[in-house]
A and B are shown apart, each in its own frame.
Chain A
Amino acid sequence: KAGVTQTPRYLIKTRGQQVTLSCSPISGHRSVSWYQQTPGQGLQFLFEYFSETQRNKGNFPGRFSGRQFSNSRSEMNVSTLELGDSALYLCASSLGLADREGYGYTFGSGTRLTVV
């Protein structure tokens, strides 16, 4: 079966612009989480969605937002890009609630965002 699909794979943006990243979870998975990965900070939690509702949000500024659609596909948006936003953005999907129901995450290959 198809894995978690993230688009685009690579993106170069200029400071001040905004960007939208897309994630299509595995069919049947209702939970989608987003992480920012950088060499210095590792995997930093952005937010998690389950059945179109945001369950939790990480410690990121309001410029980072997301949403989930009825088909479980998710998007995250970053407005007013800063150089420090350059990172690999990973999306992960889970059949249910990974934290409480014992399901693991399946990660996508990520979107590599470079802000210049």
Chain B
Amino acid sequence: QQPVQSPQAVILREGEDAVINCSSSKALYSVHWYRQKHGEAPVFLMILLKGGEQKGHEKISASFNEKKQQSSLYLTASQLSYSGTYFCGTVYSGAGSYQLTFGKGTKLSVIP
């Protein structure tokens, strides 16, 4: 079952902050975040494991709320280079649930 991302799209001015959410109806074991620029391959940003702490990557960080089965990606002081489509990928808890299932993505546009 595909995780649900929100918002579907967001436009920011340079320097503004954004939050992208990823929700699942099933218990999660881990959440991945990737960014894909137009015409390029998705690039790994970070992974959050069940029971793990909030991760950070420069001005991009993420959290994982196990009770709500939700992860959020935080982009602070956005730069033009942050533009792209952000995907969350989820792995469900339980036996036999190995695949990484991606949400439909959030298109982020940063303008000057």
Q: In whole Å, how far is A62's beta carbon from the nearest beta carbon of chain B?
A: 18
Interface size on B, residues (CB 8 A): 25
Within 8 A of A (CB), among B71-112: 87, 89, 91, 97-105
Q: In whole Å, how far is A111's beta carbon from the nearest beta carbon of chain B?
A: 11
Question: Hey, what's the 0/1 contact readout for B40-58 against A, CB within 8 Å counting as 1?
Answer: 1111101101000000000
Query: Assuming the A-B contacts A42-B102, A99-B100, are A108 and B41 also in contact, with contact meaning beta carbons closer than 8 angstroms in the complex?
Result: yes
Q: What is the total of A-B residue contacts with beta carbons within 8 Å? A: 67
Q: Does B30 contact A (CB under 8 A)?
A: yes
Q: In whole Å, how far is B94's beta carbon from the nearest beta carbon of chain A?
A: 11
Q: In whole Å, how far is B58's beta carbon from the nearest beta carbon of chain A?
A: 16
Contact of A109 with B101 in the complex, beta carbons under 8 Å: no
Contacts of A107 in B (CB 8 A): 34, 41-43
Contacts of A45 in B (CB 8 A): 99-102
Closest to B43 in A: A107
Q: In whole Å, how far is A33's beta carbon from the nearest beta carbon of chain B?
A: 7
Contact of A102 with B49 in the complex, beta carbons under 8 Å: yes
Contacts of A42 in B (CB 8 A): 2, 87, 102-105
Interface size on A, residues (CB 8 A): 26
Q: In whole Å, how far is A113's beta carbon from the nearest beta carbon of chain B?
A: 16
Question: Hey, what's the 0/1 contact readout for A19-55 against B, CB within 8 Å counting as 1?
Answer: 0000000000000010100000111010010000001
Contact of A104 with B99 in the complex, beta carbons under 8 Å: no
Q: Does A66 contact B (CB under 8 A)?
A: no
Query: Assuming the A-B contacts A56-B99, A99-B98, A104-B47, are A43 and B32 also in contact, with contact meaning beta carbons closer than 8 angstroms in the complex?
Result: no
Q: Does A8 contact B (CB under 8 A)?
A: no
- Provide a sorted-by-A list of 7 A–B residue pairs whose CB atoms are within 8 angstroms: A33-B99, A42-B2, A43-B87, A56-B98, A100-B29, A104-B44, A105-B42
